[in-house]
A and B are shown apart, each in its own frame.
Chain A
Amino acid sequence: MKPSLAEGLRRIVGPRWVRDRKAELATYRMDGLPTHESEPGIVVIPGSRSEVVEILRLLHLLQIPFVARGAGTGLSGGALAESDAVLLTLTRMNRILRVDRRARRAVIQPGVVNARLSEAVAPLGLQYVPDPSSQAACTVGGNVAENAGGPHCLKYGVTTNHVVELEVVLPDASMVRIGSPQGEAWGPDLVGLFVGSEGMFGVATEITVRLETIPSAVRTLLADFPSVRSASEAVSAVIASGIVPAALEMMDQACVQAVEASIYAAGYPTDAAAVLLVELDGTAAEVDAESALVEAMLRDHAARSIRSASSPTDRARLWQGRKKAFGAMGRIAPDLAVQDAVVPRSALPDILDQVGEIRRRYGLSISNVFHAGDGNLHPNISFDRRDTGLAARVREASRAIMEACVAAGGSITGEHGVGNDKMGYMPWIFDAETLGAMQAVRRVFDPQERCNPGKVLPERACREWRAVPESRRAGP
Chain B
Amino acid sequence: MIFSRLRALLGPAAVDRDPDNLPRVTADSTDALALVCRLAHDESWTIRVEGLRTWLPPDAPADLAVSTRGLDEVVSVSPADLVATVQAGASMDAVRRRLAEESMWLAVDPPGRPDRTLGSVIATGTSGPLRLGFGPIRDHVLGCTVVTGDGRTVHAGGRVVKNVAGYDLTKLHVGGFGGFGIVTEAHLRLRALPRADVTLLSRGGRDNQSAVARDLLDAGINPAALELISPSLAGESEWVLAARFLGVEAGVQAEVHRLPAETGAIWTQLAPDRTADFWTGLARGSLNGSVTFRLGVLPGGIDDALDLLGRELDTGVVSAGAASGSIRWTGDAGVDRLRGVRRSCAAREIPLTLERAPWSVRHALGHFGAYREGVGQLVGRLRNTFDPRQCLKVALEGSEK
Contacts and interface: CB of A to CB of B under 8 A. Distances in A.
- Chain A complexes with chain B: yes
A441 B254 contact: no
Contacts, number: 280
B239 interface: no
Given A236-B80, A242-B195, A188 B389 contact: no
B71 to A, nearest CB: 19
Interface stretch (A61-69, A177-185, A329-337, A389-397): A177-185
Most buried by B among A174, A190, A191, A285: A285
Contact of B83 (A175, A286, A344, A440): A344
Contacts of B80: 236, 239-240, 344-346
A46 B383 CA distance: 34
B67 interface: no
A193 B172 contact: yes
29 contacts: A103-B298, A153-B162, A157-B139, A161-B139, A184-B353, A188-B176, A189-B125, A189-B172, A189-B174, A190-B378, A191-B171, A242-B193, A242-B195, A282-B251, A285-B250, A290-B248, A290-B251, A344-B159, A413-B163, A414-B160, A416-B164, A433-B153, A434-B155, A434-B169, A440-B385, A441-B167, A441-B172, A474-B46, A474-B390
A430 interface: yes
Interface string B268-298: 0000000000000000000000000011111
Interface stretch (B10-18, B202-210, B308-316, B365-373): B365-373
A77 interface: no
A429 B165 CA distance: 9
Given A187-B368, A437-B148, A474-B391, 15 more contacts: A180-B351, A186-B375, A187-B371, A189-B172, A189-B175, A190-B379, A191-B171, A192-B138, A197-B168, A240-B82, A376-B162, A465-B385, A467-B388, A473-B388, A473-B390
Contacts of A174: 374
Interface in B196-215: none
B265 interface: no
Interface residues of B, number: 90
Given A184-B296, A442-B167, A175 B374 contact: yes
Given A184-B296, A285-B255, A242 B192 contact: yes
A190 B103 CA distance: 35
A200 B389 CA distance: 27
A192 B192 contact: no
Contact of B162 (A189, A285, A371, A434): A371
Mostly, the B contact residues are loop
B45 interface: yes
Contacts of B351: 180, 182, 184-186
A156 to B, nearest CB: 10
A195 interface: yes
A418 interface: yes
A44 B371 CA distance: 33
Contacts of B364: none
A473 B83 CA distance: 39
B104 to A, nearest CB: 9
A149 B163 CA distance: 10
Contacts of B179: 188
Interface in A384-416: 409-416
B166 A430 contact: yes
Pairs A-B, 8 closest by C-beta atoms: A184-B296, A192-B171, A285-B254, A286-B251, A242-B192, A176-B374, A468-B388, A289-B250
A289 B167 CA distance: 40
Contact of A242 (B155, B194, B298): B194
Interface string B94-108: 000000000100000
B340 interface: no
Interface string B247-265: 1111101110000000000
Given A241-B192, A283-B255, A417-B164, A180 B349 contact: yes
B343 to A, nearest CB: 13
Contacts of B326: 184
A5 B374 CA distance: 28
A51 B398 CA distance: 36
Interface of B: 44-46, 78-83, 103, 125, 135-136, 138-139, 148, 150, 152-156, 158-172, 174-176, 179-180, 191-195, 220-222, 247-251, 253-255, 294-300, 325-326, 349-351, 353, 368, 370-375, 378-379, 381-382, 384-386, 388-391, 396
Contacts of B388: 467-468, 472-473
Contacts of B381: 444
Contact of B160 (A410, A418, A442): A410
A288 B250 contact: yes
A374 interface: yes
Given A184-B326, A414-B162, A434-B156, A282 B222 contact: yes
Nearest to B155: A434
A475 interface: yes
B155 A430 contact: yes
Interface string A138-159: 0000000011010001000110
Contact of B379 (A160, A187, A440): A187
B259 to A, nearest CB: 12
A244 interface: yes
A343 B163 CA distance: 10
B163 A283 contact: no
Nearest to A443: B385
Contacts of A430: 155, 165-166
A256 B155 CA distance: 39
Contact of A147 (B154, B164, B220, B350): B164
Nearest to B177: A188
Given A180-B351, A409-B160, A467-B385, A418 B248 contact: no
Interface core residue of A184, A193, A243, A445 (most chain B CB under 10 Å): A184
A176 B378 contact: yes
A365 interface: no
Contacts of B159: 344, 409
A190 B180 CA distance: 13
A378 to B, nearest CB: 12
A417 to B, nearest CB: 6
A188 B248 contact: no
Contacts of A440: 385
Contact of A426 (B83, B152, B165, B195): B165
Contact of A456 (B167, B382, B391): B167
A193 B171 contact: yes
A313 interface: no
B374 A185 contact: no
Contacts of B300: 102-103
A146 B166 CA distance: 10
Nearest to A465: B385
